[in-house]
Amino acid sequence: MAPLIELRNITKRFGKGKEQVTAVDNVSLAIEHGEIVCLVGE
């Protein structure tokens, strides 16, 4: 059975130039039916 949600190679950066911050770098995730997932950040 295929995952309910699947993310591949996700990268998220905030800011510009030298002030750029990488919050998520090359993350992959598969969530199956019935799983409980929580993502927390500041």
Read off the pLDDT of residues 2-22 as tens digits, 9 standing for 90 and up: 999 999 999 999 999 899 999
Q: Give the chain's mean pLDDT.
A: 93
- Give the pLDDT confidence of 26-38 residue by residue, as tens digits: 999 999 999 999 9
Give me the residues paired with residue 11 across strands: none
- Let me know if residue 28 belongs to a domain: yes
**Number of residues assigned to the chain:** 42
Residues 6+ apart with CB under 8 A from 4: 31, 32, 33, 35
State the pTM of this model: 0.63
- Let me know if residue 1 belongs to a domain: yes
- Let me know if residue 42 belongs to a domain: no
Q: What is the extent of the structural domain holding 24?
A: 1-34
**Cβ–Cβ under 8 Å, residues 42 and 23:** no
